[in-house]
A and B are shown apart, each in its own frame.
Chain A
Amino acid sequence: MINSFRAEWLLLNRRRLWLILSAVTAAFTVAATALVVATAKPALGPNSDGLSLQAISGPGGATAAVVFSVAFASILVLAAFASVMTNEFTRGTLRAAFTRQPRRLTLIAGKLGARITIAATLMLGALVIGWITAVLVAPGQPVDTTGWWGVDAIEQAGTDYLRLLAFVAGYALIGTTLAVLFRSTPVTLGIGVLWFGPIENVLGDGRSWAEHTFPGLLLRSVLQPDRPDSVSSLTAGLTLVGYAVICIAAITAVLQGRDATG
């Protein structure tokens, strides 16, 4: 798996790619954080979107906006990981890799690991940029920012980062699984966007059984445990581990059972 990781890392670790991804991440983070902090309200109604001033006050308040924004970008995360993998099928680069690495699940795991490492680095940058943005925008709002500095704030940021990583890794695995199953970019994105967009959020919104079973809503619970409709992190985590096992089993079955033609 280390060789698969290194081979993928060599392809991804390029200045041009870093520049593009960093610019997109920075632009998204600055815009989203500024918007969320600037529109924070003293109190939120039951069906209101956004963050309350209370939520962004105290330790972790500076990074709360980033976490909130990424939760809304779940479809983008899914689409990014899915399309990278379907492109490998379309271009034939995965087929070429299969001729050099007979352990296909190991190959996919190495690729996914390298891609998540890139995402993890970008998430770290996003938290820092979001923090700075929140500090710059906060004076325009009646927010108590004294808790944004200090050990508690750093600890909360660390927790937020781990939650972000779990959230991104979950969508990365789901996107990769859909890509391996369907191989086609339009089909994969169509199914992914349909399910994790309207179906989960319309069908599952406010329904306890959906919050406990739908993978997208479980990932949201992991990322935003303070939401009123979130299930406990332990329940969400265990259920998501079950989904991860299903994903790995599906990838294994498809890679072993299906021809790898271009």
Chain B
Amino acid sequence: MTTTTISTDAVAVSALTKRYGARTVVDNVSFSVPAGAVAGLIGPNGAGKTTIMAILLGLVRPTSGTATVLGAPINRRGEYLGRVGALIETPAFHPGVSAADNLRSLAILSGQDGRDIPELLELVGLGGRGRDRVGSYSLGMKQRLGIAAALLGRPDLVILDEPTNGLDPVGMQEVRTIIRDIAERGCTAIVSSHLLSELEQVCNWLIVIDHGGLVHLGSPDLLGARSDTLVLRTDGSRLDDLRVIAGSTGLPVQLSDGTLYVSLPNDADPSQLAAEINRRAHVAGIVLAELHHERADLEARYLEMVGGVR
């Protein structure tokens, strides 16, 4: 899905700020999430992700700024909460009550009949455990149940706060599958994580925040394209000659551990450049042992943005 095909915004946030005393948790953040998008709200721990989600759900009042959810302003949450499913902070259930009854109670609160509960429990891998008390569940199972709760009644917008917390790698993969399934239903999803690598496979929209401020908004391609490289190796000889040839393209070239890295600009055609370098190396009699296009590592780019270590 590309952003150009999306005409309306499921969520629009404008100059949102939240302060607790002297501490600014969300700092003048503006962004939008197109309807039908799977948006990753990415940022380090304490960046303000949960606060932004809580504001969208009407749980926290912003100090300033405005936001609309499914077309309704957040100060009129009654107009949209019935169409929103959420897992915010940690999954919260009554431990002495069965998983199915916990979901049924939440469904009743929204005026739903809860007929989709068995299907949702199956979807999150708890099909055989619905009658068990939630108190007997592991953290990962509670997390799955929280996702099921968020999907009750087929909402138009799903907000999931760190849904892979407490899950093993298999569980994480299953959550990604569920998120894809949400998108296929035509539902908009906002999913937060402090790890971009968890979400880059499923998100088609990224909101990167750090220290309460927005540092990136748009498709994942826009985040990573700036650092694509061509990787070149010879059979061990004439590396300096190859470096001169690569440099003749006018692009920055770096040598590291016997490997040349040619940084590609946004508008470069990697295949064409690779073919040109290969042709010139062949003319110069240099044998290339390796030549490939390496897409930018989104996680590394994200870490650069939020001041982490590459």
Contacts and interface: CB of A to CB of B under 8 A. Distances in A.
Q: Name the residue among A92, A100, A102, A260 with the largest chain B CB count within 10 angstroms.
A: A100
A1 B84 CA distance: 20
B81 A102 contact: yes
B54 A259 contact: yes
A96 interface: yes
Contacts of A260: 54, 59-60
Interface stretch (B37-45, B85-93, B255-263, B299-307): B85-93
A3 interface: yes
A86 to B, nearest CB: 14
Report, as a range, how many residues of chain B touch the other chain: 20 to 34
A102 B108 contact: no
A135 B78 CA distance: 55
Interface stretch (B96-104, B202-210, B219-227): B96-104
Contacts of A47: none
Given A3-B108, A8-B105, A262-B89, A14 B96 contact: yes
B60 A11 contact: no
A7 B108 contact: yes
Contacts of B102: 11
B115 interface: no
B110 interface: yes
Interface string A79-115: 0000000000001110111111111000100000000
Contacts of B58: 98-99, 102
A103 B109 CA distance: 10
Nearest to B98: A14
A6 interface: yes
Contacts of A245: none
Contacts of B81: 99-102
B108 A10 contact: yes
A10 B107 CA distance: 11
A4 interface: yes
B77 interface: yes
A16 interface: yes
B59 A93 contact: no
A96 B92 CA distance: 7
A6 B58 CA distance: 23
Contact of B93 (A8, A93, A103, A261): A93
A17 interface: yes
B291 to A, nearest CB: 53
Interface SS majority for chain A: helix
Nearest to B97: A11
B94 interface: yes
Contacts of A101: 81, 109-110
Q: Name the residue among B59, B94, B102, B109 with the largest chain A CB count within 10 angstroms.
A: B109
Contacts of A14: 96-97
A95 B105 CA distance: 14
B109 A4 contact: yes
B108 A99 contact: no
B244 to A, nearest CB: 60
Report, as a range, how many residues of chain A touch the other chain: 20 to 34
A100 B112 CA distance: 10
Interface of B: 54, 57-61, 77-78, 81-82, 84, 86, 88-90, 92-97, 101-102, 104-106, 108-111, 149
Contacts of B82: 100, 102
Contact of A10 (B59, B90, B105, B149): B105
A107 to B, nearest CB: 7
A3 B81 CA distance: 15
Q: Name the residue among A7, A95, A99, A103 with the largest chain B CB count within 10 angstroms.
A: A99
Contacts of A100: 81-82, 106, 109-110
Given A7-B105, A100-B109, 16 more contacts: A3-B109, A10-B104, A11-B94, A11-B101, A17-B96, A92-B90, A95-B59, A96-B106, A98-B59, A99-B57, A99-B59, A99-B88, A100-B81, A102-B58, A260-B59, A262-B89
A3 B114 CA distance: 13
Contacts of A95: 59, 88-89, 92
Nearest to B92: A92
Interface string A245-262: 000000000000001111
A102 B90 CA distance: 20
Q: 6 closest Cβ contacts across the A-B interface?
A: A92-B92, A102-B78, A7-B108, A100-B109, A259-B60, A260-B59
Nearest to B60: A259
A103 to B, nearest CB: 7
Contacts of B95: 91
Contacts of B108: 3, 6-7, 10
A261 B110 CA distance: 20
A14 B149 CA distance: 21
A93 B94 contact: yes
B88 A10 contact: no
A262 B90 contact: yes
27 contacts: A3-B108, A3-B109, A3-B110, A3-B111, A8-B105, A11-B101, A14-B97, A17-B96, A91-B93, A91-B94, A92-B92, A93-B94, A96-B106, A96-B149, A98-B58, A99-B58, A99-B84, A101-B81, A101-B110, A102-B82, A103-B78, A107-B109, A259-B61, A260-B60, A261-B89, A262-B90, A262-B92
